[in-house]
Chains A and B, each alone.
Chain A
C-alpha cells in the first residue's frame, strides 16, 4: 500500500509549480478554494473585503467561478510567498500552521500549532473545525485569534529575502506578520540553529471569518494553482 502524503509534501509539490514573478506581476500562485451558495455570495464578498482591508489576507486578488447553485471563490494562499522565495533560490522550509493570538492589532504568539510533516489534513482546516478562531473579533476590536503559519530560512539569505518580500509588497502581496531575527523565537516558537523564522498570515482567514459570521462556506486550503491574470482586485469586484 502506498504511504499517505502528508501536508508538507503537498505544499512542496505546489511550491514547485509557482511561477508568479513579483517584478512582472504575472504567473501562477497557490490558491485556497471556498464554495458558497449563490444567494450568499454578496454577503461572503463583503466579509472577505473587510478581512482583506484588515490585513488578514495574502493579497487582494480573487477569482469567482459559477458552479451550478454555488460560486467557487479562489483566494491567494500564503504558501505562494514560500513558492516565490523558492524560485529566487532561497531554501524555505514550511514548518507548521497554527492559531495566533493578536493583541491591539499586534501578533503576540502562537497558541496552537500543528507541524506540516505530522498531518495529512492542512493544520488550518483542523484549527477552523476547533472553533477557536476569533477573526471577526480581531477585525472589530484588534484583539482575537487568527490563522497563520511559520517557515524557516537560512539566516544567510536574509538580505535577499527582504528584497523579495519588498518586491512582493509592491504588488500588494503582503501577509508577513513577523520576520524574525536569526536564531530568535518567532511568536513564541523557536527556530533551528542559524535560521530565521517568517510568520505569515493564513489565506484561509477569509473563509474562517465568513464561517464565524454564520455563512455556510466550505473551504479547502492549499488546494491548487491559479493564474494571476484570471484574478481580479477585490475593490473591483465589490462595489
Chain B
C-alpha cells in the first residue's frame, strides 16, 4: 500500500505525522505528536492523531513501541523520502534557511555554532586522509581549517561504528548564516562544479539550482564523482565543488566587510564576489543582485575519496560549536 491512493490533504497530514515521529529521537506518543503538529500549524487533536496512527500502522509505516510510543518502520522511512515529490523539489533551500538561522558564529569572538558536514571513514585511513585534508586546506579549496574528529561509539553527529571515525568539516552555508546575522539578505541559489587554478575560480562547468531539485545538488555532484579536487592541488588546474548565493547590490559593502571579518576568524577559503549585472563565472544572477561564489566545505572529503579511500559524507548535517573544533596544521 502507498499513501498515493489517499486524497492529497490526508496524504499531507499523514506525511506530517511521519515527519514528527522521524524527528523525535525516541518512540513518541499521540499526545506529544499532537503538540508537535500544533507547532507546525496542524491542529489535530490527540484522538484524531490516534486514528491516523492506526492508519499508518495498517499501512506498515509505523509500529508500536512499548505501551504508547510509535516509531517509524523501514517502509515508513522510505515512504517519507518518496512521497509528495512536488513538495520536495527545492526542499534543500528550506533546509539551508533553517541552518542559516541556527548559525550563531560571531567573527568578533570566534565562537558560536557553525554548520558542519559529517563524514565517516575507517580509522586505518585516518592519517592518509588528514594529509589530504591539509593539502586541500592549504590550497584554500575548503571553508575552514577547523575540524572535529569523533571516535567510535560517539553519537554527537551520528552513531560512529567500531573501527570508524567521524570527521566534521565546516560547510559553506556557515558563511550564509554569518551574512544573514550581519543583516545581509542572502539567497543560496546554485551549487556547481567550478574549474580552478592557483586559488582562482576560472569558471563554472556545471550548475544545479537548489530550487529545482528534489535531491541535494551537492550530493548529486558527489555521487557522480564529477569534481577533480586532487588535480587542483599543488597549483594545477582542476575542478572543485562550489556554490553561489545572491545578495542585493546595495548590500555589497556590508557583505564584503562581513566576509573579511569571518576570514580573520578562520572561516572563508576561496570566496569570490561578482560584479553587479553580470553572471558569476557563468552562473546566472538576478537583476539588481550580486553573486558570491564560495568553495564547498566538502571538497576535503571529496579529495580523500579521489585518493581511493572509502568515505561517506552527509552535507549540511549538524551544528557544532566553533571554539570546540580544532585547526588542522
Contact = CB atoms under 8 A, between A and B. Distances in A.
Interface of A: 1-4, 6, 96, 98, 101, 103, 108-115, 117-121, 125-127, 129-131, 188-190
A130 B85 contact: no
A225 B305 CA distance: 37
- Give the size range of B's interface with the partner: 20 to 34
Contacts, number: 94
The 9 closest A-B pairs by CB, nearest first: A118-B212, A115-B212, A118-B209, A129-B224, A111-B82, A110-B85, A119-B208, A114-B213, A4-B282
Contact of B203 (A1, A103, A111, A121): A1
Given A4-B207, A103-B2, A120-B207, A126 B215 contact: yes
Contacts of B282: 1-4
B208 A4 contact: no
A1 to B, nearest CB: 5
Contacts of B85: 98, 109-113, 188-189
B241 to A, nearest CB: 13
A101 B278 CA distance: 41
Nearest to B79: A111
9 contacts: A2-B282, A3-B282, A6-B207, A111-B83, A112-B214, A118-B211, A126-B208, A130-B215, A189-B85
Contacts of A2: 282
B10 to A, nearest CB: 14
A190 B86 contact: yes
B44 interface: no
A3 B286 CA distance: 12
A113 B90 CA distance: 10
Nearest to A128: B224
Given A4-B204, A115-B89, A130-B215, 18 more contacts: A1-B203, A4-B206, A96-B212, A101-B82, A108-B2, A109-B85, A112-B214, A113-B85, A114-B213, A114-B215, A115-B213, A120-B208, A121-B206, A121-B224, A129-B223, A188-B4, A189-B85, A190-B86
A108 B208 contact: no
A1 B281 CA distance: 6
A120 B81 CA distance: 24
Overall SS of chain A's interface: mixed
Interface of B: 2, 4, 81-86, 88-89, 203-209, 211-215, 220, 223-225, 278-279, 281-284
Contacts of A4: 204-207, 282-284
Contact of A114 (B82, B83, B206, B214): B214
Nearest to A115: B212
B223 to A, nearest CB: 5
A120 B214 contact: no
Contacts of A1: 203, 278-279, 281-282
Nearest to B217: A119
Contacts of B205: 4
Contacts of A131: 223
Given A2-B282, A3-B282, A118 B224 contact: no
Contacts of A6: 207
Contacts of B279: 1, 3
A130 B213 CA distance: 13
A71 B222 CA distance: 28
Contacts of A3: 279, 282-284
A108 to B, nearest CB: 6
Nearest to A129: B224
B2 A118 contact: no
Contact of A113 (B4, B204, B214): B214
Contacts of B2: 101, 103, 108-109
A11 B82 CA distance: 27
Contacts of A120: 206-208
B205 to A, nearest CB: 8
A114 B203 contact: no
Most chain B CB within a 10 A radius of its CB, from A96, A120, A127: A120
A119 B204 contact: no
A96 B282 CA distance: 22
B231 to A, nearest CB: 19
B89 A113 contact: yes
Nearest to B203: A1
Nearest to A126: B220
B24 to A, nearest CB: 24
A113 B91 CA distance: 12
A119 B4 contact: no
Nearest to B215: A112
A63 B2 CA distance: 40
A189 B86 contact: yes
A129 B4 contact: no
Most chain A CB within a 10 A radius of its CB, from B208, B282, B283: B208
A98 B88 CA distance: 12
